[in-house]
């Protein structure tokens, strides 16, 4: 982990327009519009077909409506080319963005390290994810990852919650492959931010 993280709570991010693997535009932060201002939960994942990533993202897919109701929009980055990602992410109900050159990974200070897989705290999650992936491959519902994934297997996860104005509300740099926010973590961070905004508007 870098001694000085590049992005911290309170950092202001410049607006950017990305393109997801389906060719749709993805604005970060959320572009102004009608309705409740949306927070963007920007997830940095690993490679296409990563078993731990796939199992993790399924939990977000199952609770997608709950996240939307809380005003949270999911955007997920992988360091794989779009062509490799599409078969693995076609059924996800949120934006998936390819960053094969790791430009955004570098900009946000999201690293790769052997500890992604070697940290003992990750081993149970890795075994559980591999078991799920093997069962899915046998059943024909899961595609296996490439033998040599683009960008390698040692990527670390990271999470950023970004307010409409571009301010980073909260963030987490993972220290191993399974060290990431859960859906409940994201909802709690979003609720905390909205409560703080309400208090500020009320002059508390």
Q: pLDDT (tens digit, 9 = 90+) per residue, 65-100?
A: 999 999 999 999 999 999 999 999 989 999 999 999
Residue 143 lies in a domain: yes
Mean pLDDT (the chain) is 90
* pLDDT recorded at residue 143: 81
| Encoded tokens for 188 | 């709690």
| Encoded tokens for 161 | 């919650």
Segment 40-59 shows an average pLDDT of: 95
Residue 73 lies in a domain: yes
* pLDDT recorded at residue 3: 45
Is residue 34 pLDDT above 70, yes or no?
no
Segment 36-53 shows an average pLDDT of: 91
- The CATH number assigned to the domain holding 142 equals 3.40.30.10
Residue 38 lies in a domain: yes
Residue 67 lies in a domain: yes
State the SS3 of the chain: CCCCCCCCCCCECCCEEEECCCCCEEEECCCCCCCCCCEEEEEECCCCCCHHHHHHHHHHHHCHHHHHHCCEEEEEEECCCHHHHHHHHCCCCCEEEECCCCHHHHHHCCCECCHHHHCHHHHHHHHHHHHHHHHHHHHCCCCCCCCCCCCCCCECCEEEEECCCCEEEEEEECCCCCCCCCHHHHHHHHHHHHHHHHHHHHCC
The answer to whether 190 and 71 have CB atoms below 8 angstroms apart is yes
Residue 9 lies in a domain: no
Residue 128 lies in a domain: yes
Give me the domain span that covers residue 20.
Answer: 16-202
| pLDDT tens column, 85-143 | 999 998 999 999 999 999 999 999 999 999 999 999 999 999 999 998 888 888 777 78
Residue 10 lies in a domain: no
* pLDDT recorded at residue 36: 62
Residue 82 lies in a domain: yes
| Distance in angstroms (rounded) separating the CA atoms of residues 93 and 151 | 25
The total of structural domains in the chain comes to 1
Is the pLDDT higher at 3 or at 63? 63
């Amino acid at each position: 982990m870098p001694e000085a993280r590049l992005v911290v709570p309170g950092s202001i991010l410049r607006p950017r327009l990305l393109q997801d693997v389906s060719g749709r535009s993805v604005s970060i932060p959320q572009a102004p519009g009608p309705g409740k201002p949306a927070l963007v939960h920007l997830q940095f994942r690993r490679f296409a077909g990563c078993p731990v990533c796939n199992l993790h993202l399924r939990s977000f897919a199952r609770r997608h409506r709950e996240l939307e109701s809380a005003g949270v929009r999911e955007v997920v980055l992988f360091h794989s080319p779009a062509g490799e990602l599409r078969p693995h992410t076609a059924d996800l109900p949120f934006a998936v963005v390819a960053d094969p050159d790791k430009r955004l990974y570098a900009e946000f200070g999201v690293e790769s390290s052997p500890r992604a897989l070697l940290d003992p705290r990750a081993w149970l999650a890795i075994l559980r994810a591999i078991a799920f992936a093997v069962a899915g491959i046998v059943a024909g519902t899961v595609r296996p990852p490439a033998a040599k994934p683009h960008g390698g297997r040692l990527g670390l996860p990271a999470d950023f919650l970004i307010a409409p104005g571009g301010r980073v509300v909260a963030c987490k740099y993972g220290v191993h492959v399974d060290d990431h926010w859960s859906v409940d973590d994201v909802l709690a961070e979003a609720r905390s931010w909205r409560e703080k905004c309400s208090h500020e508007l009320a002059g508390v």
